[in-house]
Chain A
């Protein structure tokens, strides 16, 4: 089961916007709107940021937004803050009744 493809790292200055891509296939992102995004800070439990491509759970900052085009999903962080530094993972449902994560993207605030 190959992982979804994410860039290894993305960086930006405070206040800027950054976008993390997550590329899959027609068997996962391209077919299902079951894409979610997670923030994973060192030593902490992962945190759900986005579900079903573009929906934010209550309590998640509106600086986080999600979208999808064809087989690529994207997470945009607006107004980048120092506290946003960490690892970000996408996840999708995949045909054959499995779930698959992306390889993860390390976000650095310059």
Chain B
């Protein structure tokens, strides 16, 4: 079964940092681009960042550009999101998703990990 499992969420103070990870299984990790998507409480989905299968293409939403860094370890089958200078508005459930390779669709999703930014 193709699966993504996020980890690393938690409570952090404003201005703090957190590193999320996403472990893949059941598919060739190094063949697919990956995304981070978040959902703030009571809000809709918001795309955060994308990284291509070979690291050549990296994209960020304006809301996180300069603060978040996406990376991947193809040998370990892991995706990361390093989050710095966290703000209250970064509070959300963070999902990792696989790029289906058919026009930016996201065909496999994790269950999400919760990040709360509060003092």
Contact = CB atoms under 8 A, between A and B. Distances in A.
Contact of B103 (A38, A87, A93): A93
B35 interface: yes
Nearest to A100: B47
A104 interface: yes
A101 B109 contact: no
A51 B103 contact: yes
B108 to A, nearest CB: 8
A34 B103 contact: yes
A52 B45 contact: no
B47 A46 contact: no
B45 A89 contact: yes
A57 B61 contact: no
B103 A46 contact: no
Interface residues of A, number: 29
Contacts of A34: 103-105
A39 to B, nearest CB: 11
A93 B44 contact: no
A93 B104 contact: yes
Given A55-B102, A99-B50, A103-B44, A45 B112 contact: yes
Interface string B98-111: 00101111110111
Interface string A11-32: 0000000000000000000001
A63 interface: no
B29 interface: no
A77 B95 CA distance: 25
A33 interface: yes
Contacts of A104: 44-45
Contacts of A109: none
B35 A89 contact: no
Interface string A83-109: 000010101010001111111100000
A36 B102 CA distance: 10
Q: Closest 3 interchain pairs by CB?
A: A51-B105, A104-B44, A45-B109
